[in-house]
Structure 1
């Protein structure tokens, strides 16, 4: 039995779509919140906060990553088949002694490129080292280097974001203004260590 979607669920779906679209457009959490309140008030519950935007955005991005991964898994066999067909035709040309040498060399290069692409697609080559960096660590680094200020972070990402960084252990709030070597926040302010 199929159940109908409630008005509340419909508003939530539409709100999440708006949030994702605004993030793709490059809006900060603060600006997204302001726009939701001013332009899409009917989609926003009374107790809605900037923290809720971050949670819903994380949720939507996670769903998007899962869909993208599933889609990629379905496309790989198709792409491998296409590469195999292209390789077969190029290989024939590379071995055809009736065509000019420059065309054979071009066909050989094409075969090599197809082989390289196929190997990358199937993970046959030694994987390249890719460093995945958490943007929050980058923010901490920039704060320490003085490239940005605490006010910049709060203005762009909001107080809720800073509170979540502290709550997640990226920073430790130190009482009485004392700082240890691992402390990044003293009395609610970022400090350089």
Structure 2
């Protein structure tokens, strides 16, 4: 990192110290661990790590720069070509960048064997309501053989990806689709997450 950013080694370690303090202050159970002389690794909840990864890229790139070094934008565009999503095609350039960044975060995590931990029943129920897009299913089938161990794991990855895309790229659904989904979620009367949303 010091070489890439032209920082001194001591300043780089100071930055890592600040980052460790940030994670401790956030209290999300994420820790920065030194793997060896060259690598640091984030340990903790995989869902939180993926969300923070996307947010960090989004803020640093301001939505229009490709900051990933271990996956190219062309690789993600090839995935988009394979999926051939009508939803993706109708997105604005900023919306396409958001979705591409989310897919890059997701693909990197899966290719490095990081998996979403068991989702609770209520989160799964909400996820199944949100995940009705054939495109997300196609995407994970595209990756399934190399990265997902079983169908339960695949379903949890689908739910997580559907949530991220729907939350961070809200133009992925039309207003009419959002209204239908909202009504469906509110009909889940035994789901405490849906009840909490209704109370807001």
Bin the TM-score by the shorter chain.
under 0.3
Instruction: Provide TM-score, normalisation by structure 1.
Output: 0.22
Say which structure, 1 or 2, has more relative contact order (CA 8 Å, 6+ apart).
2
Higher Rg: 1
TM-score (norm 2): 0.21
